[in-house]
Amino acid sequence: MKKKKAIKPRAVTGPKCECSGTFKPVTLRSFDFSRHSGLPSFLDGAPGWRCGSCQREMLHGQVINASLFLIAMDIVGFPHRLTAEHARYLRRSMQITQQELADRMGIARETVASWESKLKEISPQHDLILRVLMSNHARGSEALPMKVVVDIANDVMATLSSVRSEPAPRKTPDLRVTESDFKKLPAAWLSKMQNTAPTAFAS
Amino acid sequence: MDERSVNMFDVHTAIDRSVRAEAYQDGTPMNGGTCWRVFGPDVDGDRTLGIGVEVYSAPNRSVWITLCTVIEVEG
């Protein structure tokens, strides 16, 4: 009787790089995420792709979206008052203009502009309202599976029981999505991110 | 994206609030597939961005590749 040929799992290989090397799936260490987020930020342990030849690194589009979401949630849980960069990040994360945020908060656009341009520190009350708006917005995020999104948003919401009376630090600290943050995400989702091609953003 | 002070939120907003889409006028991508461009505002509503999207399958056909090019459009 003929032996059945064992099916070898197909090796996951990514697309060709501009240097003609090939991208391979890897776990990225200290990936500089600043140009994606617009804030000094790093990813530790993110599923990503690296060119075997020129070492260029890329992220899957969904990993980018998930990381943007995790950074927003990190900011909402920030123990001090929001810095100008934080406030701007949260507004942009909700994809609304200064005027649209002002309308939602029942304040003048100039007030929003004054936080973001560091002319004035955000008041504790406005700080809290902005965080609550962001948490509510986050519940509808499609960056991660719905249950994960709702769990993370609920955890962050639970930290918003009072206003932040401590003033914002002078310099916005670097934001970091850590390996343990990624490990909390569903294994099936992480595996999918390393088995489908990354989306490249070029300009 | 760095040079144009554009980040992912601008890209998402330009796509979500796009007002126009058109096929590339300069033909199909070198590797086949499809290519088109969408136009929409950035998050702050100050600029109009064009997001070029090229989609094609890799030479070994095991993966699809999406290449996005971000440009700022006059007016």
Residue A43 lies in a domain: yes
Note the pLDDT of residue A163.
Answer: 78
Q: For residue A12, which amino acid is it?
A: V
Residue A18 lies in a domain: no
Q: What part of B 9-68 touches A (C-beta under 8 Å)?
A: 9-13, 16, 43-45, 58-60, 62-68
A177: DSSP letter: E
For chain A, the average pLDDT equals 86
CA–CA min distance A120, chain B (Å): 20
A191: DSSP letter: H
Tell me the pLDDT tens digit for each residue of A62-121: 899 999 999 999 999 998 999 999 999 999 999 999 999 999 999 999 999 999 999 999
d(CA A51, CA A17): 6
Tell me the pLDDT tens digit for each residue of A176-190: 999 988 888 888 888
d(CA A64, CA A43): 10
Which of the given ranges, A5-19, A93-107, B4-18, has the highest pLDDT on average?
A93-107
Residue A5 lies in a domain: no
Q: Please state the rounded mean pLDDT for residues A45-51.
A: 89
pLDDT reading at A148 higher than 50: yes
Element (H, E) at B13: helix B8-16
Q: Is B6 on the interface with A (CB under 8 A)?
A: yes
Tell me how far the alpha carbon of residue A80 is from its chain's centroid: 20
Note the pLDDT of residue B63.
Answer: 66
Range of the structural domain that residue A165 is part of: 24-201
Residue A175 lies in a domain: yes
3 state SS of B23: strand
A 10 A CB-CB count for A101 gives 22
Which residues in A lie closer than 8 A to residue B43 (C-beta atoms)?
91-92, 95-97
Q: Which residue of A has its CA nearest to B72?
A: A203
Judged on CB neighbours under 10 Å (0-12, 13-18, 19+), A174 is exposed
Which of the given ranges, A7-11, A49-53, A90-94, has the highest pLDDT on average?
A90-94
Task: Report ipTM for this prediction.
Answer: 0.78
pLDDT reading at A202 higher than 70: no
The answer to whether the Cβ–Cβ distance between B67 and A197 falls below 8 Å is: no
d(CA A29, CA A13): 20
Q: Please state the rounded mean pLDDT for residues A184-202.
A: 73
Tell me the pLDDT tens digit for each residue of B49-71: 999 988 877 666 666 777 788 88
The answer to whether the Cβ–Cβ distance between B62 and A10 falls below 8 Å is: yes
Residue A146 lies in a domain: yes
Domain count, chain A: 1
Note the pLDDT of residue A203.
Answer: 39
Q: Please state the rounded mean pLDDT for residues A16-37.
A: 87
d(CA A92, CA A130): 12
More confident residue, A160 or A125: A125
Residue A42 lies in a domain: yes
Q: What are phi and psi of B21, to 5 degrees?
A: -135, 140
More confident residue, B5 or B3: B5
pLDDT reading at A42 higher than 80: yes
How many CB pairs below 8 Å do chains A and B form together? 70
Note the pLDDT of residue A6.
Answer: 59
Residues B40 and B18 sit within 8 Å (Cβ to Cβ): yes
In this structure, the strands spanning B64-73 and A199-202 are: parallel
The answer to whether the Cβ–Cβ distance between A201 and B6 falls below 8 Å is: no
